[in-house]
């Protein structure tokens, strides 16, 4: 199969086994993060719909709903959206580069757990942010939860092995494309010798690159913080959470 015909990594990766690799991302952490996300967005749950973009199995969406939000889940994975449906969450299957929603459909958009930056071409990231801007109401806001490039570089663990019950998880990590992307090769093996492997590859944006993307999408960077508790960004130590606001006159 030629490279152009290969299935994108984000189609292969987000199957049911993905939830086993990231089982440490539990309901209690989702509850804390959702509460903080609403504060960062300055989103009143009664003011309008919230779109949870790349929502996975609905972990954060459930927490948003518990805070009184009306939430739409949106994800490309059939396995994960099936789980979301089973939780009773309103869920749509689709591609974030082409959102199937009308203009001004949502008061807030969240894209959490490093879910922005999956694509190979820069234009695809621009298209995603353009779509986020299009579906936002004027005055609405979006939250991007991103890895910080310096933090990844300083804290990168090239290899790790974890054993959970009868599951062995092997992970290899590396910076590629001149440090613009971080890639993880994941292999999970069960005691019955069944195994599955996949690769994750996420773009690492600088602040200047984020500002350019936001400007092109006619969004304003309102705030950048280092974590959900609102701490400042400390390169080498924190994440990079970006609050984007759509101007009221847009």
Q: Any bridge partners for residue 243, and if so which?
A: 143, 223
Write the CA distances from 57 to 78, 146, 196, integer angstroms: 10, 19, 20
CA distance 48 to 230: 24
CATH of the domain at 190: 2.20.25
CA distance 131 to 217: 8
Query: Mean pLDDT over residues 181-210, rounded?
Result: 90
- Predicted confidence at residue 1, as pLDDT, reads 38
121 and 31, same domain (yes or no): yes
Closest of 96, 109, 100, 97 to residue 136, by C-alpha: 109
Q: Is the pLDDT of residue 2 over 70?
A: no
Residue 250, domain member (yes or no): no
Domain count along the chain: 2
Q: Is the pLDDT of residue 69 over 90?
A: yes
Task: Name which of 86-95, 132-141, 194-203 the model is least confident about.
Answer: 194-203
Residue 189, domain member (yes or no): yes
Q: Is the pLDDT of residue 87 over 60?
A: yes
CA distance 119 to 128: 10
Q: Is the pLDDT of residue 5 over 70?
A: no
Task: Name which of 58-67, 78-87, 165-174 the model is least confident about.
Answer: 165-174
193 and 212, same domain (yes or no): no
Q: Is the pLDDT of residue 3 over 70?
A: no
Percent share of the chain, pLDDT over 70? 95
Mean pLDDT of all residues belonging to the chain: 93
First to last CA, the chain: 45
Closest of 70, 115, 72, 78 to residue 97, by C-alpha: 115
Q: Is the pLDDT of residue 161 over 60?
A: yes
The parent domain of residue 167 ranges over 151-201
3-state secondary structure of 183: strand
21-62 pLDDT per residue, tens? 766 668 889 999 999 999 999 999 999 999 999 999 999 999
Question: Are 43 and 70 within 8 A, CB to CB?
Answer: no
> What predicted TM-score, i.e. pTM, was given to this entire model?
0.93
Query: Mean pLDDT over residues 2-10, rounded?
Result: 70
Query: Mean pLDDT over residues 187-204, rounded?
Result: 86
35 and 108, same domain (yes or no): yes
Closest of 106, 107, 52 to residue 80, by C-alpha: 52
CATH of the domain at 50: 3.40.50.150
Per the model's pLDDT, the better-predicted residue between 195 and 20 turns out to be 195
Angle formed by the axes of helices 27-41 and 59-66, to 10°? 60
Residue 17, domain member (yes or no): yes
The first and second tokens of residue 243, run together, are 């609050």
15 and 96, same domain (yes or no): yes
172 and 239, same domain (yes or no): no
The first and second tokens of residue 68, run together, are 């009184």
Write the CA distances from 160 to 116, 150, 163, integer angstroms: 24, 20, 10
CA distance 234 to 229: 13
Q: Any bridge partners for residue 172, and if so which?
A: 159, 185
Q: Is the pLDDT of residue 83 over 80?
A: yes
The number of C-alpha atoms within 13 Å of 4 and in the hemisphere containing its C-beta is 0
């Amino acid at each position: 199969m030629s490279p152009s015909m290969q299935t994108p990594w984000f189609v292969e990766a987000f199957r049911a086994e993905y939830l086993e690799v990231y089982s440490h991302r539990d309901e209690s952490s989702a509850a804390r993060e959702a509460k903080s996300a609403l504060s960062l967005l300055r989103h009143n749950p009664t003011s309008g719909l919230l779109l949870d973009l790349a929502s996975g199995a609905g972990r954060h969406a459930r927490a948003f709903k518990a805070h009184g939000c009306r939430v739409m889940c949106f994800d490309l994975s059939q396995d994960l959206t099936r789980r979301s449906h089973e939780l009773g969450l309103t869920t749509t299957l689709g591609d974030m580069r082409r959102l199937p929603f009308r203009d001004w459909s949502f008061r807030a958009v969240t894209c959490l757990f490093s879910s922005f930056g999956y694509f190979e071409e820069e234009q695809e990231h621009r298209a995603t942010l353009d779509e986020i801007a299009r579906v936002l109401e004027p005055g609405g806001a979006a939250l991007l939860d991103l890895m910080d490039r310096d933090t990844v570089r300083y804290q990168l663990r090239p290899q790790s092995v974890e054993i959970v019950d009868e599951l062995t998880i092997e992970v290899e990590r590396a910076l590629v494309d001149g440090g613009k992307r971080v890639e993880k090769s994941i292999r999970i093996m069960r005691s019955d010798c069944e195994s599955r492997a996949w690769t994750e590859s996420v773009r690492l944006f600088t602040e200047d690159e984020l500002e350019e993307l936001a400007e092109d999408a006619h969004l304003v960077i309102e705030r950048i913080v280092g974590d959900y508790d609102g701490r400042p960004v400390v390169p080498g130590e924190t994440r990079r959470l970006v609050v984007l606001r759509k101007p009221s006159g847009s």
